[in-house]
Amino acid sequence: MANTFRWYDFILPVVAVILAVGYALYVLNNPTDAMVAGFVTPDRIISSLITHLYLVGVSMALAILAAFPLGILLTRAGFRKFAPLVVGTVNIGQTVPSFAVIALFVGILGIGERTAIFALWVYSLLPILNNTIAGVSGVDRSIIDASRGMGMTRLNTLRKIEIPLAMPVIMAGIRTAVVINAGTAVIAAYVGAGGLGEIIVTGLTLARFQVLMLGALYAALVALMLDYMLGMVERLLPK
């Protein structure tokens, strides 16, 4: 059965937590100098982590709220022809370097959280949009034909048949987006939005490798863990 978990399903989170806590304890107990000791405190690590998760969470939620319905809409008869145009436009957003997007929107939205969330939102749209379109239009035509032919309404066919069958592909898109998002979220520090990027930037500015490493490790582990958690959610969904 797909819904029963085995012990090896839990290796990743255990290893991640040991790594995160272990490295933090190591740096806290063995600061190379006063500057490192002053900067690396449990409070700061935790607040950076929370801000990071907040940025990722909000931007991801907004991206799902926008890309999922848009993707569904673009698979409906009458709107299907706009799909390449919309995907193309979103694709452009994706190809522009993340730094450039942030820089561009600092001018409009100013410094702070909003700009960071907006940039992360732009980055997360494409995988979700693409996979929603691919998942829904990949549902076997004969299944839709049977459903409509038997008298299911369009809405019920979408709700009961198309979306559930497309769900694995859509979830894969969301997981791709979350990894990109959590990785990119470190640049939020450059617009004063905080997050784990702040630790990395501090490490770079002070030229302290330990500090830099702390931020990078945490950002990577957050991306891995979010992907892992979504994978678990997917397995728990009724098949």
Partner 1 sequence: MIRLENVSKIYPGQGEPVIENLNLEIQSGEICVLVGESGCGKTTTMRMINKIIPHTGGTIYVDGKDISTIDATELRLNIGYVIQEIGLFPHYTIEKNIATVPIEKKWDKQRIAGRVKELMELMELDYDAYAKKKPRHLSGGQRQRVGVARALAADPPIMLMDEPFGALDPITRMNLQNEFIRIQARIKKTIVFVTHDIDEAVKMGDKIAVMHQGKLVQFGSPQDILTRPTDEFVENLVGHNRILKRFSLIECRAINPSAAVYKLDSERAEIIRRIENFERTSSFPVIGIIDDDYRPIGYIPMFKYEAGDETPIEDRIKKIKPIQTIEDSATLFDALGRLFSSSERCVFRMEPGGRCTGIITMGDLFEAVRVNG
The nearer residue to partner 1, 44 or 148, going by C-beta atoms, is 148
Smallest distance from the beta carbon of 54 to partner 1, in angstroms? 35
Smallest distance from the beta carbon of 135 to partner 1, in angstroms? 13
The nearer residue to partner 1, 161 or 222, going by C-beta atoms, is 161
Q: Which stretches of the chain bind partner 1, using CB under 8 A?
A: 140, 142-153, 156, 161, 164-165, 239
Smallest distance from the beta carbon of 85 to partner 1, in angstroms? 22
Smallest distance from the beta carbon of 164 to partner 1, in angstroms? 5
The nearer residue to partner 1, 42 or 159, going by C-beta atoms, is 159
91 φ/ψ angles, rounded to the nearest 5 degrees:
-60, -40
Determine what percent of the chain falls in helix, strand and coil, rounding each to the nearest 5: 85, 0, 15
Cα 46 to the chain's mean position, in Å? 20
How many CA atoms does the CB half-sphere of 232 hold within 13 Å?
13
The nearer residue to partner 1, 104 or 160, going by C-beta atoms, is 160
**Helices and strands (H and E) in the chain: how many:** 11, 0
Question: In the structure encoding, which two tokens stand for residue 167, read together?
Answer: 């769900």
The nearer residue to partner 1, 171 or 212, going by C-beta atoms, is 171
Smallest distance from the beta carbon of 198 to partner 1, in angstroms? 45
CB 217 within 8 A of CB 200: no
CB 175 within 8 A of CB 132: no
